[in-house]
Structure 1
Amino acid sequence: MSFLAAAQDRFRQDVLSNRHNLAILERWPALALPDAWLVAGCLFQTVWNLQSGRAPEADIKDYDLFYFDPLDTSEAAERKVQARIEEVFADLDIKVEACNQARVHLWYERHFGHPRSPLLSAREGIDRFLMPATCVGIRPSEIYAPHGFELLYAGRLTMNPLTPYRDLFERKAASYAARWPWLRVETGLHP
């Protein structure tokens, strides 16, 4: 087994130890979303919880689904998808949020104060998380980690050159470090 395959197996095993991640992936066919990925905190925070000896689900605020539908970038269409997501996962007692990456550029600057060019896939949304360590996504048959897993498992938080917004990085890093004090915040850009 290659190093990458072993790292992917470890990551999959870790994130699926979170019963909510497992339930989301088990119900994947019911979502019927184009280019869909389970992403963000529900994945990397599960890993950090396990490394901290905590329950896999501890302090995870929400579970994010990215999808890419360039045919309808309206807010109404995204709300309709969100309503279906809430119905599919109603019994889990967690917050699952869906975000159409084809429309992020329409609201990003208004919400975060920085411009965002249009994306061409859900993976490009994952690529642009504030920290390379957190750029991870999973779906039943695939894992996406453009920067690998070393930064994630080492707890090294560096700024992503694709989103070099120091103000957002510092706020997010401080929030993570408050919950997982062993994380190392590094102020430079990740190459």
Structure 2
Amino acid sequence: MNLNSEEEFLNLISEDDWMMDILLTVKSLDLPDWWVCAGFIRSKIWDTLHGYRYRTPLTDIDVIYFNDKNKDEAEEKELERKLNKLRPNVPWSVKNEARMHFVNGIPPYLSSIDAISKFPETATALGLKLDEQNNLILTAPHGIDDVINLKVKPTDYFKKDEDRMAIYKERLVTKNWKTIWWNLKIQH
């Protein structure tokens, strides 16, 4: 299968009942500036492009939001508990991007989309959410070309810094994506 446009990309997601259920579940929390992002999207695309009939396992479902009025990590854990009650057996990971700059030792993010733009790989810098009518909204600060063309490369934010590039290279080793998706073209 080929994915040649954002419309085909979004149609693929919208036809996946499990992914839509995940998005509806997160939407029910009514979080400010929320997105489900990263591997949740990337893996679906790569699985499809590799012809897999079944979803490859996800280590977590990354849910991000931006609330600069409550930066307490305990709030994130409470949201994970709520999501686990709604959908048990889903590996939820909830992060408030308004506080993650403390964790990452960088200047504050301006929004969730700003945070996504600074993810390590362009193919992972993706977010999805639902609008009021449950239509999919995609954010892809670096576009979708790399993910649909099976290219793995660092975002400019990571390329500009030696320490961040070390993190990118370490992720390539630990994620070992090529053993799952053999057609990937990885930039080291």
* TM-score, scaled relative to structure 1: 0.83
The structural deviation recorded for 1:120 is: 1.3
Equivalent position of 1:154 in the other structure = 149
Same amino acid, percent of matched pairs: 21
Q: Is 1:34–2:35 an aligned residue pair? A: no
Question: What is the RMSD computed on CA atoms of the aligned residues?
Answer: 1.8
Partner SS, residue 138 of structure 1: strand
Question: 1:16, CA displacement in angstroms?
Answer: 3.7
Structure 1 residue 77 and structure 2 residue 75: aligned? yes
In the alignment, what sits opposite 1:166?
A: 165
- Could you tell me which of 36, 44, 47 is aligned with 1:46? 44
Per-residue CA distance 1:90-109 (angstroms, 9 max, x = gap): 2xx2212111001101222x
Residue identity matched to 1:64: D
For 2:14 and 2:62, locate their aligned partners in 1 and report how far apart those are by CA, in whole Å.
15
SS at 1:133's partner residue? coil
- State the TM-score, normalizing by the size of structure 2: 0.84
Q: Residue deviations 1:33-69, cap 9 Å, x none?
A: 1100010101011100011111352122221111001
Deviation sequence 1:134-184 (CA, Å, 0-9, x none): 211111131111121111111111111212322221232342222212111
Unaligned 5+ runs, structure 1? 1-5, 109-114
Which sections of structure 2, spanning at least 5 residues, go unmatched? 132-136
2:96 match = 100
Structure 1 pair 56–140 and aligned structure 2 pair: CA distance change class (3 A): farther
Counterpart contact for 1:41–1:63, Cα < 8 Å: yes
Answer whether contact 1:18 1:46 (CA < 8 A) is retained: no
- What SS does structure 1 have at the residue aligned with 2:10? helix
Q: Which residue of 2 aligns with 1:138?
A: 128
